[in-house]
Structure 1
């Protein structure tokens, strides 16, 4: 009896690699939404589209658009402009969905993934825009919609080992330990909570 229970109650081994988004699969694109400062009256644009360089290459996500730092007219609260982003859509599409301190059922939560099985975020990126700053954000499921775990995304837009400014960008594998993300609220660091 105990052998049977031990066999069927043991915790399964965690996989060494879990995929969050794989743009090589077309079903990843409907799960993404883009936004920019245009939601606040700004003039930037953002698009994330499937792209294949040639018939024998994998499908990738091409994030592009125009950044415009012109402040929106008549919006005195907006102090900075010129940003764009893409993110996964909330599981609950209701715009009035609220973040709560706890949920009676997991189905009520407004999360997309449970990050507890993850230790490292691995991204494969190509930076075509030198001198731009990029951030990776993980939205929290808390009472505050402005809570974000953030980490700077450092990329090398030029091919490795080349000092030529006309060198072509290359694909880079970037690894970020999840415990290196910093909890922020409205871009201010909150040191009391860690991921």
Structure 2
């Protein structure tokens, strides 16, 4: 899943051409649910499911009061709506950050992850097959950069590292060409479930960060 070669800085050239202050910011916190007030969820997190097309999956996102973390949970259903014959597939649930507010000075507001090499998540999940979804500034709003969230210890807290270069561009679930993610203009990030399996799902998220290769090596202990 992860190549340390991918994560390491680009040697001497990185040191020469790095922007001033880049190397002093080895990580950036994107979401930290320990510090997020439950009342802030509505303005921070957007929930979606196949109920938008008449499906029956449920989706919830709450702050777990005991563990002080985000909790993405519900029930996935593949049943098709009986009153809409145009829908031939169903069964998805997801959450993502809301679009960031526009600045009247600079226009659209994005996260700039250009100095970072990896997405790092602290999570506790089940055996379902979740996908991490990143939306960058691309010509089509339906473009997504996706990567499987591999969990090695279901039911336990674990730290998952995904090199940003490993994300694959898709459109409506179809893999596109080899376009690389535009790390300087990141719009949203989220996690989705569409593993074609009926039943409950539960994923807890402590935090999501982006890190440089050297920070990953130090922080995760690789």
- Give the TM-score range, shorter chain: 0.7 to 0.9
Cα displacement (A) at 1:112: 4.5
Other-structure match for 1:151? 147
Residues 1:71 and 2:80 are matched in the alignment: yes
In 2, the alpha carbon distance for the partners of 1:143 and 1:13 equals 28
More RCO (CA 8 Å, sep 6+): 2
* Structure 1 partner of 2:113: 115
Structure 1 or 2: larger strand share? Answer: 2
* Residue 20, structure 1, aligned to residue 33, structure 2: no
Q: TM-score, normalised by structure 1?
A: 0.73
Which of the two has higher C-alpha Rg?
A: 1
Structure 1 segments, 4+ long, off by >3 Å, are: none
Give matches, 1:1-195, under 5 Å: 11-14=20-23, 15-27=25-37, 29=41, 30-53=43-66, 59-92=68-101, 106-107=106-107, 109=108, 112-128=110-126, 130=127, 132-158=128-154, 169-195=155-181
Q: 1:72/1:106 Cα in 2 relative to 1: closer, same or farther (>3 Å)?
A: farther
Supply the distance in 1 between the matched residues of 2:178 and 2:73 (Cα, whole angstroms). Answer: 36
Structure 2: distance between partners of 1:78 and 1:119: 39
Question: What's the Cα RMSD here?
Answer: 2.2
SS at match of 1:116: coil
Q: 1:48 & 1:63 partners in 2: Cα distance?
A: 5
**What are structure 2's unaligned runs of at least 5 residues?**
1-18, 182-222
Once the two structures are TM-superposed, the CA of residue 92 in structure 1 deviates from its matched residue by 4.8
Distance 1:77-1:145 versus aligned 2 partners, 3 A rule: farther
Structure-2 separation of matches of 1:112 and 1:73: 40
SS at structure 2 position matched to 1:191: coil
Q: TM-score, normalised by structure 2?
A: 0.65
Task: Tell me how far 1:144 sits from its aligned partner.
Answer: 0.9
Distance 2:55 2:116 in 1: 36
How many residues are paired up?
A: 158
State the Cα deviation string for residues 31-81 of structure 1 (Å, max 9, x = none): 11111000111111111101132xxxx510011111111111232332221
Partner of 1:7: none
